[in-house]
Structure 1
């Protein structure tokens, strides 16, 4: 005889909570023009989603004919978006060829400007430290900060 019991969860955690890390996770992915360093679009997610999954969800927000320089978090991007470059990863217990190292260095030299944009955005302390405000308003606040950054960039 089977006994069916229904338990109510006494602790109602939000969808963004991850027990393994003991944290609520919020992720923002930005599309930045690498020459002008202008923030073109933002993609937000309240759950722990892999970078590539977030990219595939918001593929329509990417400007037409954009060329993407990604990091190693977007492996397999060529199957979804043909105009993209990623650095090569070394296989286990194998070193990269010198030509591939030069290739990776060229990609990373172009991406360094994008990383500087993220550093500049962290001058707003709300992004540099733990986000303690409402999770629903993260998108609004990040869009405002991106707008302020783009406005300051146009003044230079």
Structure 2
């Protein structure tokens, strides 16, 4: 994962890795499962945004409008998903 965001005050949820020759405790498995459920939703949204090619290719327009365009595409994705 990218740890640079933690320095900016964001809280990152990282799964707990299994140590060599030690299995994970049940609490750690539940924590990892919770993170996985959150992450899969975000990954699906990212993949849908990539179908509009705004995240999968180099953005060639004005930077000022990038956020606006991502928000518009996200609104379209939400509209499609929640019909």
What TM-score comes out, normalization by structure 1 length? 0.40
Q: Which runs of 5+ in 1 are unaligned?
A: 1-49, 56-73, 76-85
Q: Which runs of 4+ in 1 moved over 6 A?
A: none
1:147–1:135 distance in 2 versus 1, CA, 3 Å: same
> Which protein has the larger Cα radius of gyration, Structure 1 or Structure 2?
1
Structure showing the higher helix proportion among its residues: 2
Aligned pairs, number: 74
Residue from 55, 73, 76 that aligns with 1:145: 73
SS in 2 for 1:127: coil
1:113–1:88 distance in 2 versus 1, CA, 3 Å: closer
Structure showing the higher strand proportion among its residues: 1
Q: Which runs of 5+ in 2 are unaligned?
A: none
Residue 109, structure 1, aligned to residue 63, structure 2 = no
Q: For the aligned residues, what is the CA RMSD?
A: 2.5
What TM-score comes out, normalization by structure 2 length? 0.67
